[in-house]
Each structure stands twice: as C-alpha cells, then as structure tokens.
C-alpha cells in the first residue's frame, strides 16, 4: 500500500479486496455489522427505508435480510459502493456531512464505525438526524475518545491484530457525552452502552485468523460503544 495520512479515505481503495475476504483485515467489521443489525427492528410496513451512512462494501446487507427495508447506502468511496451494490444495497455517493437525501426519508438511520472518521462530526450528526423521520430509530457504533481506546485501537491493534496502519485518526474519536448532546440538539434521544468482542472468538482470530467473535454488550464504554436513539415526534411522544 502507498503511504497516506491517517484517516485518508483513499486507503479504502487500496484495501478494496478486503471487504468480503473471510480472513481479510476487515473481517472484524462483519462482527460489528452483525451486532448493529441486531439493534434494527423489523420494518413496520411496506416501503420502509434504512439509510446506512458510511456503508463501505455493504457489510450490513446480509444481516438485514428478511427485515423488510429498502437499504440505501451512502459512502465517499466508489470502490466500496460498487461492492455494496453487488450485495443488494442502493448505493449513493455522498458525504456523511451533506447527505444527498431528503428530510425525514428514513425509518432507520445506521452510522456504524463511521463517526470516528468524519471531519465534521457536528454536521454528520445533524444530517443523520435530519433524514430520520419522527419516531425513527438511530443506530450507531463508534470509538470513544479515551486514552484506553487509543491504546487498544492504535498501539495494540495496528501492531498485533492486522488492523491497517493509519486507518484511524484517534484525534477524531467521539466522546459519548458530546455525541448524545449533539443528537439531543436535533431531536434525537440517544442512549449508549459499551460493546466488546467475545474473548475466545478474538483469541481464535488473532492466533489462527479463523472463526468469529460475537460483539456483546459490556458495562464499559471506554473503547467501543453502541448508541440507540429515537427521534422526537413519533407516536410515543407528547
């Protein structure tokens, strides 16, 4: 791979062959996608729309099968969008901070492993909330802005787990309190909980590059956390 600045989107073009390779460096993103999908309820009716911000190669698609959504994926990287389209995603080129989608078009908005990459967090959160309909659900996961998170995801992961060097910029990691406040400013009540991979699955992956580590809830949000929000104005409000 060429040497690029940390968090440079062009890295994903260089890693285009990794999205769906079972033993590739993006395999752990499949574990996260499965956990993300478990927070997505079945569609309430025909025509329901799920907007997948930072969809990458479309890894969420298999885990949404049978849930009844029209799956729209938005990403900056053309090589990733091409693969997402091959897996049934309606692929849309766009920036998380300026989604090329109308207001209130989505029943569910998913922002998985993307907020720690955006250069304009406030704008990205505002856009996610803008396209969500009243009563709709926001599902996200991201990395916390803590020293422990930086140690685990940069010092350890880049040296020992095969995570591509420079794929993250820890300066962009996201404090959950700030994220909840940004969501609240746009009418979305966000609850967060910690998440982690299962120990045995992780060890098996590190040793043999085989198997799957299930992402499970944990008490600590210090490294990885999930968020679940609902936009005000739905049937349960007021």
Q: Which domains does the chain have, with CATH numbers?
A: 10-231 (3.40.50.150)
- Residue 128 phi/psi, 5° resolution? -60, -40
Band (pLDDT 50/70/90 cuts) for residue 238 is low
Distance CA 129, CA 85 (A): 24
3-state helix, strand, coil in the chain (%, to 5): 35, 25, 40
- Give tens-digit pLDDT for 168-196: 999 999 999 999 999 999 999 999 999 99
pTM: 0.96
pLDDT band at residue 159 under the 50/70/90 scheme = confident
Name the pLDDT band for 127 (thresholds 50, 70, 90). very high
Q: Could you report the per-residue pLDDT of 35-92, keeping only the tens digit for each?
A: 999 999 999 999 999 999 999 999 999 999 999 999 999 999 999 999 999 999 999 9
pLDDT above 80 (res 235): no
Res 237: pLDDT: 67
């Amino acid at each position: 791979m060429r040497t690029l600045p940390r968090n440079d989107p062009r890295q994903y073009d260089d890693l285009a062959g990794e999205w769906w390779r079972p033993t590739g460096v993006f395999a752990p993103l499949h574990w996260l996608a499965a956990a993300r999908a478990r927070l997505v309820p079945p569609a309430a009716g025909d025509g329901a729309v799920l907007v997948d911000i930072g969809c990458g190669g479309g890894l969420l698609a298999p885990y949404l099968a049978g849930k009844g959504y029209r799956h729209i994926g938005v990403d900056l990287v053309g090589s990733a969008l091409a693969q997402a389209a091959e897996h049934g995603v309606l692929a849309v080129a766009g920036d998380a901070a300026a989604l090329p989608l109308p207001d209130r078009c989505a029943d569910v908005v998913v922002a998985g492993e993307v907020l720690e990459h955006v250069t304009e967090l406030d704008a990205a959160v505002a856009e996610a909330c803008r396209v969500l309909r009243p009563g709709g659900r926001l599902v996200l996961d991201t990395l916390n802005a803590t020293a422990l998170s930086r140690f685990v995801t940069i010092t350890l992961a880049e040296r020992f787990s095969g995570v591509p060097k420079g794929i993250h910029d820890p300066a962009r990691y996201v404090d959950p309190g700030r994220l909840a406040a940004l969501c609240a400013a746009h009418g979305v009540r966000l609850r967060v909980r910690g998440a982690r991979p299962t120990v045995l699955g992780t060890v098996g992956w590190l040793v043999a590059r085989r198997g799957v580590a299930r992402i499970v809830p944990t008490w600590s949000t210090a490294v990885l956390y999930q968020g679940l929000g609902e936009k005000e104005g739905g049937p349960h409000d007021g």
